[in-house]
Chains A and B, each alone.
Chain A
Amino acid sequence: MSTMQEIEDEIVEDFNLFDGWEEKYQYIIELGQKLPALEEQYKSDEYKIKGCQSSVWLHGEEREGKLFFEADSDSTFVKGEIALLINVLSGQPAEEILNAKLEFIDKIGLRQHIAVTRANGLSSMIKQMKTYAFAASNHSKQI
Chain B
Amino acid sequence: MATFNVNDIRNDFPILSEKAYGKPLVYFDNAATSQKPQVVIDALVNYYSHSNANIHRGVHFLSQRASEAFDNVREKVRAFINASSEKEIIFVKGTTEAINLVAATYGRKNIGKGDEILISAMEHHSNIVPWQLLCEEKGAVLKVIPMNDKGELVLDKLNTLLSDRTKLVSLVHVSNSLGTINPVKEIIAQAHKKGIPVLIDGAQSTAHAPIDVQDLDADFFAFSGHKILGPTGVGCLYGKLQLLEEMPPYQGGGEMISSVTFEKTTYNEVPYKFEAGTPNIADVIALGTAIDYWNNLDRLGAAAWEEELLEYATSKISAIPGVRIIGTAEKKAGVLSFVIEGVNAMDAGMYLDTKGVAVRTGQHCTEPVMLRFGVPGTIRASFMFYNTMEEIDSLVENLGKAIQLLQPQTAL
Q: Which residues of A come within 8 Å of B, CB atoms?
A: 20-22, 25-26, 29, 53-54, 74-77, 118
Contacts and interface: CB of A to CB of B under 8 A. Distances in A.
A29 B347 contact: yes
Nearest to B363: A53
25 contacts: A20-B21, A20-B22, A20-B354, A21-B21, A22-B354, A22-B355, A25-B350, A25-B351, A25-B354, A26-B354, A26-B405, A29-B347, A29-B405, A29-B406, A53-B346, A54-B344, A54-B346, A74-B344, A75-B344, A76-B344, A76-B347, A76-B406, A77-B346, A77-B347, A118-B346
Interface string B180-205: 00000000000000000000000000
Contacts of B344: 54, 74-77
B303 to A, nearest CB: 32
Most chain A CB within a 10 A radius of its CB, from B346, B362, B406: B346
A20 B354 CA distance: 9
Nearest to B408: A33
Contacts of B254: none
B366 to A, nearest CB: 16
B210 interface: no
Q: Size class of B's contact patch? A: 10 to 19
Interface in B276-327: none
Interface of B: 21-22, 344, 346-347, 350-351, 354-355, 362, 376, 405-406
A29 B347 CA distance: 9
A25 B406 CA distance: 11
Given A25-B350, A118-B346, 19 more contacts: A20-B21, A20-B22, A20-B354, A22-B21, A22-B355, A25-B354, A26-B354, A29-B351, A29-B405, A53-B346, A53-B362, A54-B344, A54-B346, A74-B344, A75-B344, A75-B346, A76-B347, A76-B406, A77-B350
Contact of A75 (B21, B347, B355, B405): B347
Contact of A74 (B21, B362, B376): B376
Contacts of A53: 346, 362
Nearest to B407: A76
A72 B376 CA distance: 17
A21 B22 CA distance: 10
A54 B405 CA distance: 19
Contacts of B376: 74
Nearest to A80: B347
A118 B362 CA distance: 12
Given A54-B346, A75-B344, A21 B354 contact: yes
Nearest to A20: B21
Contacts of A54: 344, 346
A78 to B, nearest CB: 8
Contacts of B351: 25, 29
A54 B406 CA distance: 16
